[in-house]
Amino acid sequence: MQITKNIEIIDLCLFLTKSKTLIIPDVHIGYEEALNKQGILIPRTQFVEIMKNIEKIIKQIKKKFKRINKIVIMGDLKHEFGIISETEWRQTLRFLDFLIKHCQDITLIRGNHDKILGPIAKKRELNIEEHVIIDDVYLTHGHQLPKSKLKAEKQLLKTIKTIIIGHEHAAITLRDGPRVEKFKCFLKGKWKPEKKLLTKSFDLIVMPSFNPIIEGTDVLKEALLSPFLKKANIKTFETFIVGDKVYNFGKISRILKKK
């Protein structure tokens, strides 16, 4: 489903149709291991599901758009802060090797969980960036705002129309009679930087998490994480829910009215 001009939602990913760029949000490889270490016992099925899903998504894109020219990983590829465990090493490399088979041009964006992503990137000769710009789209993890105080960054932002972020793990709880279910979702709204830094507003797209175990932050109830959303009026955001397919649910204010 198209979320905005030249940008399609494909399951939990986005696809820039002009540049044929696949955008993969927070995968958090090793999340289960981290939960296990805290004494939470859940079966370790996450990685199998992650691989199945990315395979399905790539197949779907290739069928519809023929090829993928570039892949951007939005940050938090792996979960653990600080140390990289055996399993994380192995699984992260397997995930990257699968992507490399379909597209050699892969860029990693640094997330807040990615302090020592360096060794993994080095092994496959991939670049790590704070942000990536493709045409008029600015991609960044979302735990930090663009450094619009810097002249170069400010200049650069003037050419940008849309900002895409991960980090938030956007989700929404819907009620259907007695049934309450949380769904992963995309959000689309406006973001304005501080006026004294830049007088301009951007289209902002917020992505869900790619990890099957991480349901995400309920945008209706929970405190939002990203500084991009701190001052935003979330009710004016449009929501696209990812279920068996993608559903456009319209503005959040409309969902709130129905409750």
Q: How far is the CB of 21 from Mn ion (least distance, A)?
A: 20
Burial label for 13, CB within 10 Å (0-12, 13-18, 19+), is buried
Q: Which stretch binds Mn ion (CB under 5 A): 43-51, 57-65, 104-112, 126-134?
A: 104-112
Contact call for residue 78 and Mn ion (CB under 5 A): no
Non-local (6+) Cβ contacts of 259 within 8 A are: 175
Q: Please name the amino acid found at residue 96.
A: L
Q: How far is the CB of 152 from Mn ion (least distance, A)?
A: 25
Non-local (6+) Cβ contacts of 37 within 8 A are: none
Please say which residue, 29 or 255, places its beta carbon nearer to Mn ion. Answer: 29
Q: How far is the CB of 31 from Mn ion (least distance, A)?
A: 12
Site for Mn ion in 144-173 (CB under 5 A): 167
CA gap 179, 132 in Å, rounded: 40
Contact call for residue 208 and Mn ion (CB under 5 A): no
Please say which residue, 28 or 188, places its beta carbon nearer to Mn ion. Answer: 28
> Which pair of structure tokens corresponds to residue 136?
């008029």
Please say which residue, 167 or 188, places its beta carbon nearer to Mn ion. Answer: 167
Contact call for residue 112 and Mn ion (CB under 5 A): yes
- The only residue of 25, 30, 111, 212 in contact with Mn ion, by rule CB under 5 A: 111
Q: How far is the CB of 26 from Mn ion (least distance, A)?
A: 6
Three-state DSSP class for 42? coil
Q: How far is the CB of 207 from Mn ion (least distance, A)?
A: 11
Closest CA to 30 of 43, 13, 49, 47: 47
Closest CA to 228 of 181, 190, 177, 180: 190
- The only residue of 14, 15, 24, 76 in contact with Mn ion, by rule CB under 5 A: 76
Binding residues (CB under 5 A) for Mn ion: these are 76, 111-112, 167
